Amino acid sequence: MSERRPAAPRTDRARSRRAGRRLALASIFEAEFGQRTPGAILERHLSEAEGDPGAAELAREIVGLVVEHRDRIDAAIARWAPQYPVVSLARMDRALLRCALGEVLHSPTTPARVAIAEWVELARIYSGEPMRRLVNGVLGSIVSEGSASPEREKPRSPRARDS
């Protein structure tokens, strides 16, 4: 039984990070309707639910990145998916792409391949197979070209610092 214990923190951390991505996605999506800012919406979501500090931290990071770099993110979408103009995308699809690109392009805290896998799965869940393929293609192209954040080469992980 003690053999399974070391795996639990990693599983809990992955679950927490996925919850953070879902919170960020929900906040960016809801902000598409123009009633409140993404940050205010996120804080409301966090106050209504029992908080997971790890999920809250990642959600705040992603929402902040999307808000701060929205013009650059939209330009990247236009560059890598010109057949899908940002203004023509469904709100959920636009929110998915913005969050995914925000994390992959501007966050040094998650390895690109992990972020891609997570966002591709969230695209499949919340939008369907065509969006899953689009997210995978756009993010894969960005990473293979080397457009992702330079900090990605050295992801900050607790294990690396503890060694």
Question: Does residue 162 fall inside a structural domain?
Answer: no
Residue 161 pLDDT > 50? no
Residue 62 pLDDT > 50? yes
- Using one digit for the tens of pLDDT, what is the confidence trace for 5-56? 454 566 788 888 999 999 999 999 999 998 899 999 999 999 887 778 889 9
Residue 120 pLDDT > 60? yes
Question: Does residue 73 fall inside a structural domain?
Answer: yes
Q: What's the pLDDT at 1?
A: 47
How many domains are contained in the chain?
Answer: 1
Question: Does residue 1 fall inside a structural domain?
Answer: no
Question: Does residue 114 fall inside a structural domain?
Answer: yes
Q: What's the pLDDT at 147?
A: 65
Residue 96 pLDDT > 60? yes
What DSSP letter does each residue of 43-97 carry, written as one string? HHHHHHS---HHHHHHHHHHHHHHHHTHHHHHHHHHHH-TTS-GGGS-HHHHHHH
Question: Does residue 27 fall inside a structural domain?
Answer: yes
In 3D space, the residue among 121, 93, 109 whose CA is nearest the CA of residue 148 turns out to be 109
Other CB atoms closer than 10 Å to residue 31's CB: what's the count? 21
- As a whole number, mean pLDDT of residues 128-145 equals 92
Which domain range does residue 151 map to? 7-155
CATH number of the domain residue 112 falls in: 1.10.940.10
3-state secondary structure of 155: coil
Question: Does residue 160 fall inside a structural domain?
Answer: no
Question: Does residue 163 fall inside a structural domain?
Answer: no
Question: Does residue 2 fall inside a structural domain?
Answer: no
Which of 57-61, 95-99, 155-159 is least confident?
A: 155-159
